[in-house]
A and B are shown apart, each in its own frame.
Chain A
Amino acid sequence: MADIITIVKFLSTGVIALIEVIPASVAISLVLGIIIGILGYLQIPIIRYIVSAYIIAMRGLPPLTLLLLVFFSGSFVSPIVTAIVVLSVYHGAYIAEIVRAGISAIPKGQHEGADSIGLSVIAKMVHVIMPQVWLSIIPSLVGQYIILIKDTTLISAIGVMELLNNARQIMQVVYRPITVYVIVAVFFFVICFFLENLSKHLERRIKAKTIL
């Protein structure tokens, strides 16, 4: 038992790296995803092809491969920064698709109501469409960020001292792979399970609000 406490204590230094990486990646991917999602919806000539290419690339390429490629290409950049950049760009594509789908789900009548009072496209998006989109996409966003949190295990491959790399270090002193990896698994399980249920709860509340 005392062993487990020591292991947990040692592993928790890895959490610091996650605190640096996760909020930054969430924030950047959200902003990126919103911009690209709106651009994708508006279907502006030429830009729409760039957007499609970007989204297809991120859907087809493994994040681990991307992490390694970017890290080795710019070896002057620190692992943590690389991790944030790659995770943000990768998940940004998925957020963009969620945003675009959310915008498409808004009834045509809302667009017509906004058009009928002479709003510009930007004013329409800002004041009428996007406020309605935010609420509806929250469950999908949470789901996507659960995936991002699990993907942080991949950044161990480029040397970020997060949980898995710390686990490797402990095991050079005390080789108990099952205990150590189970503790890591429990850590992720608690966070993701909580977020999953939060999302379900939010989804129920959003549905109730719209029925009103």
Chain B
Amino acid sequence: MEQEKRVVVEFKDVVKQFEDDLVVLDHLNMKFYDGETHVLCGRSGAGKSTLIRCINYLESINAGEILVEGEAVTKKRARAIRKKCGMVFQSFNLFPHMTILENALLGPMKSLNKQKAEIIEKVESYFHKVGLAEKMRALPGELSGGQKQRAAIVRALAMEPDLILFDEPTSALDPEMIGEVLNVMKQLSDEGRTMLVVTHEMGFAREAADKISFMDAGKIVATKTPVDFFHDPGHESVERFLKQIL
């Protein structure tokens, strides 16, 4: 039975244009649902990263509206919305002068104004979950790429976000470390977390995604379940893309 799922993020006729007249998001409409793992794929420059960066106001839009849990994303509400969205970056962006434990505690303590005693147990359990329990007091500079990204995921989880945005989380990793990060992401997906993932890892998409969207030139060309996406996408550009990468 199809349950009416809650809409977590909604794009309404969104236009984003860079200064040199490059239209990166072209009248984009989309709904992302609660509890779903939604993968965004497409060629470089199609607008995937920009799309998710607009959700937590790391980029601003020129026209249209983005609603996060019914609330419009504006400069004023940016901080409040960011507290609800966790983000994992391609280049990790961990703070090099703090241990990864301190990295994870910073958000809840200084942004959500929680006491360390309140949250320390939960945060440490997250480090356990991603397999970094012994490395909690290490500095980012002492860790491998895969470990850094897993630490970055904990930093996002520590905020207890309603949704997690992943911006090509494995693109900067050496091949042998991609698996450990994707495994953590699969775990989170199985727990029913709402995740928006921009990635080229189609294996992950096939196994963990509830929906896959293909983007081309600022538009979402197709949104299908993994089964449909890989067997019968129904769009020429998607078929060409799949041929290239599979």
Judge A-B direct contact (beta carbons within 8 Å). yes
Give residues in A with beta carbon < 8 Å to B: 109-110, 112-120, 123, 127-128, 131-132, 135, 212
A interface majority secondary structure: helix
Residues of A within 8 A of B95 (CB): 110, 113-114, 127-128, 132
Residues of B within 8 A of A119 (CB): 106-107, 110-111
Residues of B within 8 A of A123 (CB): 110-111
Residues of A within 8 A of B213 (CB): none
Could you name 29 residue pairs across A and B whose Cβ atoms are closer than 8 Å? A109-B91, A110-B93, A112-B58, A112-B87, A112-B93, A113-B89, A114-B95, A115-B82, A116-B56, A116-B82, A116-B87, A116-B89, A116-B156, A117-B82, A117-B107, A117-B111, A117-B155, A117-B156, A117-B159, A118-B79, A118-B82, A118-B111, A118-B159, A119-B106, A119-B110, A127-B95, A132-B95, A132-B97, A135-B97
Could you give, for residues 79-91 of chain B, a 1 whenever the CB lies within 8 Å of some chain A CB and a 0 otherwise?
A: 1101101110101
Min Cβ gap A102→B in Å is 14
Choose among B58, B110, B111, B141 the residue with the greatest number of A CB atoms under 10 Å from its CB. Answer: B110
Give residues in B with beta carbon < 8 Å to A: 56, 58, 78-80, 82-83, 85-87, 89, 91, 93-97, 106-107, 110-112, 141-142, 155-156, 159
- Do B89 and A109 touch across chains, with their CB atoms under 8 A apart? yes
- Do B86 and A116 touch across chains, with their CB atoms under 8 A apart? yes
- Do B106 and A117 touch across chains, with their CB atoms under 8 A apart? yes
Residues of B within 8 A of A113 (CB): 89, 93-95
Bound-complex Cα distance A212 to B142 (A) = 7
Residues of A within 8 A of B141 (CB): 212
Besides A116-B86, A116-B156, A212-B141, 8 new A-B residue pairs in contact (Cβ under 8 A), listed by A number: A109-B93, A110-B93, A117-B82, A117-B106, A119-B110, A120-B111, A128-B95, A131-B97
- Do A115 and B159 touch across chains, with their CB atoms under 8 A apart? no
Residues of B within 8 A of A110 (CB): 93, 95
The residue on A at minimum CB distance from B111 is A118
Choose among A113, A114, A135 the residue with the greatest number of B CB atoms under 10 Å from its CB. Answer: A113
> Which residue from B58, B83, B93, B96 sits with its C-beta under 8 Å from A132?
B96
Bound-complex Cα distance A119 to B109 (A) = 10
Choose among B80, B97, B112 the residue with the greatest number of A CB atoms under 10 Å from its CB. Answer: B97
Min Cβ gap A115→B in Å is 6
Residues of A within 8 A of B94 (CB): 113
Min Cβ gap A200→B in Å is 23
Residues of B within 8 A of A131 (CB): 97
Min Cβ gap A128→B in Å is 5
- Do B58 and A116 touch across chains, with their CB atoms under 8 A apart? yes
Min Cβ gap A192→B in Å is 31
Bound-complex Cα distance A77 to B112 (A) = 50
Min Cβ gap B77→A in Å is 11
Min Cβ gap B224→A in Å is 29
Bound-complex Cα distance A129 to B110 (A) = 14
Bound-complex Cα distance A109 to B96 (A) = 12
Ranked 10 nearest A-B pairs via Cβ: A113-B93, A117-B107, A118-B83, A116-B87, A118-B111, A118-B82, A109-B93, A123-B110, A131-B97, A212-B141
